[in-house]
Amino acid sequence: MLRTTLLTLGLICTGLPAAAQSQDPIQQILANFDQIDSNGDGVISRAEYLDLQAARWPQIDRNGDGYLTEDDFPRFAANRARRQLAEASYLDANGDGRISQSEFVNGPAPVFRNADSNADGFLTRSEVQAAAS
């Protein structure tokens, strides 16, 4: 469950159709592998993954106050917002009840860690494919 939280949060906040929201985050990495691999060396480094997280932040912090809180979700989605935020609470490193940009971008990256099966800090295409299957 944890591994899906980061990308799910972003998709919920962008208001994409339900079908797109349910897409597995690792499938999205696989589909965008070449764009995420910005230096084109054929592997996704942790730094390239962090760049991806940083690029997604504006869609997550919708009201632009620098923190992810319930206020960033549509009012009608308050219950879902609380659930999502509870699942993402592991990102709240300083325990102040909200997730800052730096906590989000630099925090634990379970999607990356789970896919990096040899734990060398790089995702190869075959590691991503294995995680996606």
Main-chain dihedrals φ then ψ at residue 68, nearest 5 degrees = -90, 115
Span near Ca ion by CB under 5 A; candidates 8-16, 28-36, 37-45, 76-84: 37-45
Q: Please tell me whether residue 120 binds Ca ion under the rule CB under 5 A.
A: no
First to last CA, the chain: 16
Q: Please tell me whether residue 89 binds Ca ion under the rule CB under 5 A.
A: no
25 or 67: whose CB is closer to Ca ion? Answer: 67
Closest separation in Å from C-beta 101 to Ca ion: 9
Site string for Ca ion, 48-87 (x = CB under 5 A): -------------x-x-x-x----x---------------
Q: How far apart are CA 111 and CA 30, in angstroms?
A: 12
- Please select the residue that binds Ca ion; options are 34, 41, 70, 120, rule is CB under 5 A: 41
Listing DSSP states for 79-123 in one string gives HHHHHHHHHTGGG-TT-SSSEEHHHHHHS--HHHHHH-TT-SSEE
Please say whether the dihedral angle defined by the alpha carbons of residues 44, 47, 49 and 52, taken in this order, is positive or negative: negative
- Please select the residue that binds Ca ion; options are 24, 37, 51, 87, rule is CB under 5 A: 37
- The residue ranges that bind Ca ion (CB under 5 A) are 37, 39, 41, 61, 63, 65, 67, 72, 92, 94, 96
